[in-house]
Each structure stands twice: as structure tokens, then as C-alpha cells.
Amino acid sequence: MTPDELKLRTKKFAIDIIKFLDKIESKSKCLNIISNQLIRSASSVGANYRAACRARSQAEFISKIKIVEEEADECQYWIELLVGAEIVSAQSINGLLKEAQN
């Protein structure tokens, strides 16, 4: 996968998270908190990947890529909370979970 393809993929991931969460109708304070955290971490994946692509050194690139990895792992955590708290079904969010894991 080229850097440009990965930029598009990480942006699509954040957009898909936003669209998924917008479809959930709830006024739950817990859902709002988890949604905000999930959107932040999902959008950070792409933002930090783009920053890595502009790295001035290999060390800076590696540092930024590690942040991308951490943010993707955080996405997995928030998705697991949504499923564990039975706010969403595992089946409905499985595709996004798999994308966060890859």
C-alpha cells in the first residue's frame, strides 16, 4: 500500500467511525463520552500518519508511527467498551474493529 493509499484509508476509517456513531440514537452520557474519545483516537490515526509522512528523520517517522499504532489500539479499546456495555452489537461494529486492528 502506498503512502497516499494509506492516507485515504486512515481518513476513511475516521469518517466511518463518525458515521457509525452518528447513527446511534442515544442521549446517554456514557455514550457521549465514549463517542468523543473514539472520534478523537480514530481521527488521530490519520492525522499522525500524515505527520509521519512529513517526518524529517527516520527517528521522527518511527516516533509518529508508534503514535499511530497507539491511537489505533485506543480505538479498539473504545469499540470494545461499546460492545461490552451492550451499547452496540459486536456484529454491527466488527468491520471497524478489524480495521483498527489492521
pLDDT tens string, the chain, 102 residues long: the values are 899 999 999 999 999 999 999 998 777 889 999 999 999 999 999 999 999 999 999 999 999 999 999 999 999 999 999 999 999 999 999 999 999 998
Question: What is the CATH number that goes with domain 3-18+37-101?
Answer: 1.20.1440.60
pLDDT score at 28: 85
Q: Which pLDDT value is given to residue 26?
A: 75
Measured CA distances, 2 to 5, 8, 78, 93 (Å): 5, 10, 28, 26
The whole-number pLDDT of residue 27 equals 74
Could you tell me the residue ranges of all domains in the chain? 3-18+37-101
- CA dist., res. 46 & res. 75, Å (int): 12
- The confidence score (pLDDT) of residue 6 equals 96
